[in-house]
Structure formats: structure tokens, C-alpha cells
Amino acid sequence: MRSRVTWDLCWAWYRALPEAQQTRVAQMGFGHLLLVRPFHVDVPYLEALRERWEEDCKAFIMPWGHMIPTLEDVAYLIGLPVQGEPVVGQERSDYYDDIVELLGPEFIAGRRRPIRSILLGSLSEAVGLRGRRRGPLETLDEFYTGVRGALDLGDRSEERSVRIFVTYLFGRLLFATQSSQMNCKFVLLLRDLVQAGRYAWGAAMLGHLFSLLPSSSRPSQSTGGFTPFLQIWGYTRFPMGRGTLAEGHQTMVSLMARWEVAPDPRVTDRRVVDVRVALDHYPHEQVVWTPYAGEADASHPAVAAGRPLFDRHLLLLCLGTCEVLYLKLVVRTLGWHQPAMEVPSLGREGHSRSRFFVEDRDWGLEHGSTVAYWQAGGDPVVRVTDLLDSSAYMEDYRARYAGRLRLDRRVMPESQAVCLLEGRLAKQEVELTRLRTEVRTLKGELARVRASRDARASSSAQPAGGDLAVRLQGALDRAEARVRELEAEREGSGVATLQAQMETLRLEMETERRTMAAAMEELRDDRATMRGRLLEAREREAETARAQIAAEYEILKDRVLKKRREQQRQAQQATPARTGSAFASLDDIVSLGDPSVV
């Protein structure tokens, strides 16, 4: 599966824009997302996740129940607005005049009408970034420096420059597809940049992602949509040793900015089959259903505005695409118990399967009831208050998806168990290294704060600076608290604990090996018994076959003897005639036995 995301260039291009244009882009709702430093896309993880998507109920089929990315995930993780006007608008049969007006005539030069799509490479080429790709040994900062030096906005207006960038952002990141072209319908949404800031881009992104996730029965080698969001959503809900929280980013907004991909090759160099096995055996009690507990809404503007929608069924609109967000399947993400229920067949009734149209269409008018449903806030999810747990739901769930969940698996193969164990140990080592680095950083910060405080106290020429003293004292207190916390965490989850975990896992593996050895011994006994029975059966079959062959031989012998007697009788009758005609004289008869006669 190839990811169609070109994140590095979007990030560097945005940083290289003039400050005024960055402000315009941020006001449209994309600022928090574009501050996230790009990380490596975990393709095996995404493919294993994509295989579990069930189009019929719009959910991932996981061993522990249905799971669905929600608007709460979008708001917290990437900071896109999920509350606002639905992303509906017009689609045209020809966008020629619109492209000339909104982007510039250079984008349609030499092309025949009708114009329905735009090459994404032409957008970067127009600003001097053609072919810009980050090299394998190039850091992000080095790549940004190169992009900033190459960026050439020319004499374009500020609005056109912003539209060109946001169009590229749509085609390569938020609404990425399997094509190198993008439908021009998205460009029409940028006619009024102020109005563009009122759209619920997060809901549109999620609906677009749902529409491109293939059915589990339909193979695919690539996928579209904003796949980094799906990757971090998985890391947040069921961490599996690939992503770690970045050092010093515990207060970053959006939450995706707090993550980085572990560089350890034992963690990163894995195959799809390894991820499948890890998902099959992931401990259910370690699934994080409410990962955002304790986060303050004030630090997440998209969360504060979108919270009224977090517990409601909705239709996610993205121009001609309409996808269902059915939260009743995942009420555990709201902190509730999941009741047993009949899984609906949601289908794809609202999804447009046509890419281009022969006439102009206004989706807002054609789907007025759907737009009104969104504007009304959808339907609330009703909580079942008398539930003590989700066991009834899980019993029905396992019965429904028994084939998909591989519930008949008894023992993990030893080779796969070893790979899973190595991945978990590598994760522990990466996390321990990160914690040690953070401890050193915080101790350095503590030393600097103390030195600054001592210098201020001993300098008679410097004023008291009450506000500065308060800030420094606060930084000192936070640093000391963090050091104590990390030291305690290090003591609790350090090398000794890791060794204990390794020993526990080794004992578990040894127990499993003994169990497997006993099972193999029983199997050998069964095989010996079955082999004896099989030999007896084969001997009986051989005796029967020999008797049958003997009988058939006697029958065949009788037939041959009868045939031979018949032939002899016929030969005796034909002897006089043959003797008179074939041998004219005694010399001819004698010559038959004389080899000298030719």
C-alpha cells in the first residue's frame, strides 16, 4: 500500500510563506495541523488497519469490538475545525473560467476545454518547487531551508498565492487520492477565503477518509485520505510500539505534534503480517477508550467549539460524498458501557460514484435535507444506564465476526511470538532511552534556572524584577517536579523492571514451549496409533485387492484359453488351402529354414 501523502513539502512550503499569508491559512483552520512536524508514514500498520475496515457498518473490526475515528479524535489530534458550515458547494462540467480567475491563466495554458482536474505538480511548479523532495539523509530543517530559497511567488496577489498553496494542501494531504490530479471542485471552495474559514474541514476530512477506505473483501495496493491521522489515531487508542511521545512536547497542540516515530529499526522495520499478529493478540484491557481525559478544552480551540457534536450521530459531508458516523457502535469512547445491539447495514447511499458530470450541480440544493441534518447537529446518542459491563455486546460481537477475529486460534506460532516479544522489548528500550534523555534535559533546565536566579540575586545593578522572579521560580518548581516524576518513573519502569518483564516473558515462552512439547508428544502417540490402524486397514485392503486380482486373472485366463482354442480350430480348417497356395514346392518349404536363401 502506497501512501499518497506529500507532507514534507506542505509543511516546508507553509513555513516559507510570508507571515501575512501564513496568517490567512491559519484563519482558515489549518494552522495547528501545519505546525506538526512530518513523521514517517507507517505503511504496514496502516495496511493491517485498513484490512479491518467494514464498509457495511463504517467501523474497524477489532478483536475487542468496533472502533471508529470520531470528530473528537479529529479535533484533539490535528486541530481541524469540526463545527461549522458543511463542505458542500458546486461541481461544474468545465472549470476553465474558475481556474483562470482563482489561480491564474498559467494553469490552463495549452489545455483543451473542458477543464475538470488540475495537475498537482503544476501547483508546486508555479512557485518554483517543481520536483522538490526530501532526500533520505536530509533533515527537515535542511529541506525547509532549500524550499525557502527556491520558493518564488512572483507578482501574484496574496489571495492567489494562498489559494495555490491550500489547493496543493487539499490534493496532497487532507483530501489525497490515488491520483496525481485533483478534481477542481475543491478550488471553488476557496473563492471567498473568509467563508472558507467557516467550513467544518475536520468533518469533511473524516468523511473523505471513510469513503476511500476499501471494503475488507476488496484488495487494494494504495489508499487515499489523510493517512497520518489514521496512524496517530491508532497509536493513541491501541499503542503498539511504533510511536512515542516526543520529548518536551507534552503541552503541544494539536496532540499529533506530541508524537514521533521511534527510530529503532527493531520497532520500525516490520511487515504487515507482524502487525496483523500483534493486533490479533493485543491485550484488550490496554485499549485506551478515553485518551483525552484531563486535556483542557481551552488549549484546543477546535475541541471547545466542536464538543457539542462529540456524542451525536452525524452525516459527514464532503461535496458529493456523504458518510455515516454511527457512534452507537462505539459508546465506550464516551466512557459508557457498550450495549448489545443489532449492527446496522449503513451502505453508501449518499456517496457519489461519479467523478465528473456533464452539467453543473449544486450539492447544497440537491441534498438540502442532509445539510439541514448536519446544521441541526444530528441525533444524540442515548446512553443505556443500567449496564454493568459490555459483556453481552462482546458475546454477540464474537459470534457475528468469528471468522474475521480468528477466534479458533489456540496458540500463537513460536516464530510470531518471538517477533512480537522482540517488538515489545524494543519499545521498552526506546521508551527508556527517551525518558533518560528527558531527565538530562530537565536537569539542565533546572541548573540554568538556578544559575539565573543566583545571578539575579547577587547582581546589585539589576532590578528585582518581580514578574521575572515569579516566572523563574515557577519554571524551577516545574522542573524539579518533573525530575522527581521521571526519577520515580525510571525506578518503576527502568532496567530492573525491564529485566523482570523479560524474565516473565521468558517463563511464559518456556511454559508455552512445554505445553507445545506435551501437545506434540500426544500428537506423536496419536500418530503412532493412527499409523497402526492405517497399516491394518491397508493390509485388509491389500488382501481384498489380491483376491480380486486373482479372480480377475482366472477370468482373463479362461478367456485367453478359449480364444486360443478358437484360433487353433480356425487354423486347422484353413491349413489345406493355405498349403496349396502359399508353397508351390518342397524346395520352397525347405528354403524357409535356410538362412542362406535370400
If asked whether residues 282 and 423 sit together in one domain, one would say no
Which residue, of 350, 375, 405, is where some domain finishes? 405
- CA 365 to CA 188: how far, in whole Å? 16
If asked whether residues 453 and 316 sit together in one domain, one would say no
Residue 590 placed within a domain = no
Q: Name the stretches of the chain with pLDDT < 70.
A: 1-5, 215-223, 241-253, 261-270, 298, 345-359, 406-446, 449-450, 452-520, 522-523, 526-527, 575-598
The three cell numbers locating residue 298: 481551552
**pLDDT value at residue 98:** 92
Residue 539 placed within a domain = no
- CA 341 to CA 387: how far, in whole Å? 13
**Which DSSP state fits 87?**
B
If asked whether residues 170 and 137 sit together in one domain, one would say yes
**pLDDT value at residue 476:** 52
If asked whether residues 143 and 217 sit together in one domain, one would say yes
- CA 46 to CA 57: how far, in whole Å? 19
If asked whether residues 358 and 441 sit together in one domain, one would say no
- CA 318 to CA 87: how far, in whole Å? 5
- CA 80 to CA 204: how far, in whole Å? 10
Residue 398 placed within a domain = yes
Residue 565 placed within a domain = no
- CA 41 to CA 322: how far, in whole Å? 27
Which residues, at least 6 apart from 247, have a Cβ–Cβ distance to it below 8 Å?
434, 437, 438, 441
Residue 85 placed within a domain = yes
Query: Contact 227/256 with Cβ under 8 angstroms?
Result: no
Which residue, of 466, 493, 520, is where some domain finishes? 493
Number of domains in the chain: 2
- CA 7 to CA 13: how far, in whole Å? 10
If asked whether residues 354 and 445 sit together in one domain, one would say no
**pLDDT value at residue 405:** 77
Q: What is the 3-state secondary structure (H, E, C) of 495-539?
A: HHHHHHHHHHHHHHHHHHHHHHHHHHHHHHHHHHHHHHHHHHHHH
**pLDDT value at residue 596:** 43
The three cell numbers locating residue 553: 486373472
If asked whether residues 109 and 253 sit together in one domain, one would say yes
Between the CA of residue 122 and those of 97, 98, 126, 411, what are the distances in Å?
17, 16, 6, 54
Cα end-to-end distance, the chain, whole Å: 83
**Which DSSP state fits 170?**
I
**pLDDT value at residue 508:** 62
Residue 192 placed within a domain = yes
If asked whether residues 297 and 190 sit together in one domain, one would say yes
Residue 472 placed within a domain = yes
Q: Residue 433 is part of which domain span?
A: 414-493
Which residue, of 385, 405, 425, is where some domain finishes? 405
**Beta strand pairing status for 361-362 and 90-91?**
antiparallel
Residue 535 placed within a domain = no
If asked whether residues 339 and 445 sit together in one domain, one would say no
If asked whether residues 158 and 196 sit together in one domain, one would say yes
CA angle (452, 457, 460) in 5-degree steps: 120
If asked whether residues 399 and 435 sit together in one domain, one would say no
If asked whether residues 302 and 437 sit together in one domain, one would say no
The three cell numbers locating residue 80: 481541524
- CA 287 to CA 276: how far, in whole Å? 16
